[in-house]
Structure 1
């Protein structure tokens, strides 16, 4: 049996797939009622499963009952995509956040499974064990690798 978080995530992703504009408007309380859960559970799903690193933008709107806009990021060209990814990586990145970006790239078929595994192993904490600032080096490596792989 799927966890409620997985069920909510899949429901929102199905809504996004049905929309041509790649965005959906939801009301947190209505969604919580639909799944018989607390609104905080909806917040949890939004903040952990629909992040910028995973290819989504979340906007909260107040008034009129309030609603949340979930938008799937699309890229017009390769340079724009790489720029967005590099901004997301920043000057320093944890292994978990790097994996979120890689998962998104694999899910969108921007990288192959083999590329995913090679990049993942090159960025893990054990590989970078002797480095003082792992997160900075990891960010620099990820940017360099993706510049080659995504070009």
Structure 2
């Protein structure tokens, strides 16, 4: 059985798919009431699963008429994607940012689930068992080379 965070994430993703402009505005308290949870649970889901690295822009306004706005950030076209990858990864990339980019590419269906799993395994800190900052440099080189190769198809 899935946990409440998974259910909230799936609900929000469904809302984003149904949205004509790729964005949703919601009241945190209304969403918490819908899922019978505390508002901080909603904050947790949004702050961990709807990050910029994962392809989402989140804006919030506090107060009586406050809201949370989640917008899907579209990846550039395939021809511009290589430049985006080189720019995003840079000379060093930590594991969290690398996994966020892989997630974003998988969600946009530029890579398959299997390819994403292989990438995650190759760039994990367990696979690159050297000390920082060398590990982040190696991860960046590996990830950049693998993604460019995968996306040239």
Could you tell me the TM-score, scaled by structure 1's length? 0.82
Q: Supply the RMSD in Å over aligned alpha carbons.
A: 2.4
**Equivalent position SS for 2:136:** helix
Instruction: Evaluate the alpha carbon distance shift between residue 118 and residue 124 of structure 1 in structure 2; reply closer, same or farther with a 3 A threshold.
Output: same
Is the contact made by 2:32 and 2:42 (CA closer than 8 Å) also made in structure 1? yes
Gaps of 5+ in 2: none
The residue number in structure 1 matching 2:43 is 43
Could you tell me the TM-score, scaled by structure 2's length? 0.81
Gaps of 5+ in 1: none
Comparing 90-99 with 16-25, greater Cα deviation is found at 90-99
Looking at structure 2, the residues matched to 55 and 16 of structure 1 have their Cα atoms a distance apart, in angstroms, of 12
Looking at structure 2, the residues matched to 40 and 52 of structure 1 have their Cα atoms a distance apart, in angstroms, of 20
Give the count of matched residue pairs.
151
Instruction: Evaluate the alpha carbon distance shift between residue 80 and residue 56 of structure 1 in structure 2; reply closer, same or farther with a 3 A threshold.
Output: farther
Shift of 1:65: 1.1
Looking at structure 2, the residues matched to 4 and 118 of structure 1 have their Cα atoms a distance apart, in angstroms, of 28
The residue number in structure 2 matching 1:32 is 32
Is the contact made by 1:53 and 1:88 (CA closer than 8 Å) also made in structure 2? no
Q: Please list the CA deviations of residues 52-110 of structure 1 after superposition, one character each: whole Å capped at 9, or x if unmatched.
A: 12111111134661111101111342244444444544543333442232233223221
The residue number in structure 1 matching 2:122 is 122
Looking at structure 1, the residues matched to 44 and 90 of structure 2 have their Cα atoms a distance apart, in angstroms, of 24
**Equivalent position SS for 2:21:** coil
Looking at structure 2, the residues matched to 137 and 13 of structure 1 have their Cα atoms a distance apart, in angstroms, of 33
